[in-house]
Amino acid sequence: MIGRVVAGASAALVVLGACPSAPLAVAAEGDRTIRVQDGQIRCLFSSEAYGEGGRPMAICGRTDGTPFAVSQAPLNLAAVRGSGEFFFMAGTIPGPASEDVVLGAGQTYHSNGWTVTTQDLRTLITYDVGGHGMRVNPVQAGAIWGVTPPGDT
C-alpha cells in the first residue's frame, strides 16, 4: 500500500517537475514556495495536493537536488499531508526560485493552513488543523505529530 502511495505521489510530482514553465505550481491560487535553512531547503505548500483528492500537502527538498541522509536515492523530496502521513518521493519542486519567500532563523510564516517556524538547526512545518507535519534541515527530514503552532495556546 505504501509503495502505491509513494509511486502515485511521485508520478504526480514528476509530471509537474517535467513542466517547470507551467504556471500551475507556483502561480496557482494558494500554492507557495519558500526557502529556509540558509537557502539549502526549498518547500512547496499547497492547500490542495495534486491528484490527492484535495488534501493539503507540504513538500520539501534540498536545493542541490540530493536526497536527505535518511532517504534513499532517488527519493529526494520529503512530503507530508495535512492528515500527518509522511513519506519520501522523487521529483522536483516546480516554479522559479526567484519567486520563493526566503525565511531566516527565528521567522514564522503562514501559508495555506501551514505554519513554518524556522530555527537555527531545523525548520518545523505544521498543518494548523491537528498540528501534524515535518521537521526538516539539510541533512534529514522526519514526521512530527500534534505540535501546537507558536501563539496557539
Could you list the mean pLDDT of each consecutive 10-residue stretch along the chain, which spans 153 residues?
Answer: 40 38 40 95 83 77 96 95 94 93 97 94 94 96 77 49
pLDDT score recorded for residue 150: 54
Write down the pTM of the prediction: 0.76
pLDDT score recorded for residue 151: 54
pLDDT score recorded for residue 63: 97
Domain ranges of the chain: 2-18+31-144
Per-position b or e across 96-107, b if 16+ CB within 10 A of its CB? eeeebeebeeee
pLDDT score recorded for residue 2: 42
| Beta carbons of 20 and 92 less than 8 angstroms apart | yes
pLDDT score recorded for residue 85: 94
